[in-house]
Amino acid sequence: MRDDNCIFCKIANGDIPSKTIYEDENFRVILDLAPAAKGHALILPKNHYANLYELPDDTASKVMLLAKKMATQMTEKLQCDGFNLVQNNGEVAGQTVFHFHMHLIPRYKDDNQEIGWNPGNPSQEELEAIRKQIAE
């Protein structure tokens, strides 16, 4: 369940030191080395899954419960004003480390950070075509 060439496998399992803010048998939560804002952290499963598609359902459930717990604790301790959960899959979506991870990003009124997208403006017909493509 580990990939010897994966840096997050090594960090999650303690072979490479990290600033750990939480650990249990399945996960390690570490501070990001290049934070978007103060306290930016990453939830790493100890097993290697490249992305969301590979994540077993029970691990996926646990990730969200842990994200909620960490966001609550971090908001209280850091006194941040908001919080982003971010999870990238695939290079085109911004994934740079191919071991599943969930970003925990505390937000502050004056952090001058942008985490977002350029909003589109599809017609009702276009929305309906997309709805059909996905749902039917």
Q: Which residues bind ligand 5GP (CB under 6 A)?
A: 7, 18, 30, 32-34, 42, 88, 94-97
Tell me whether residue 18 or residue 47 sits nearer to ligand 5GP (CB atom): 18
- Shortest reach from residue 114's CB to ligand 5GP, in Å: 15
Among the listed residues 46, 99, 103, 107, the single contact to Zn ion using CB under 5 A? 99
Amino acid at 55: L
Q: Is 40 a catalytic residue?
A: no
> Do residues 54 and 64 make contact, with C-beta atoms less than 8 angstroms apart?
no
Nearer to ligand 5GP, 80 or 105 (CB): 105
CB 104 within 8 A of CB 66: no
- Distance, in Å, from the CA atom of 72 to the CA atom of 132, rounded to the nearest integer, reads 37
**88 contact choice in ligand 5GP, Zn ion, none (CB below 5 to 8 Å, kind-dependent):** ligand 5GP
What φ, ψ does residue 20 adopt, rounded to 5°? -90, 130
Minimal distance in Å, beta carbon 126 to ligand 5GP?
Answer: 29
Which tokens in the block code for residue 85? 């959960």
CA atoms within 13 A on the CB side of 43: 27
CB 91 to ligand 5GP: min, Å: 9
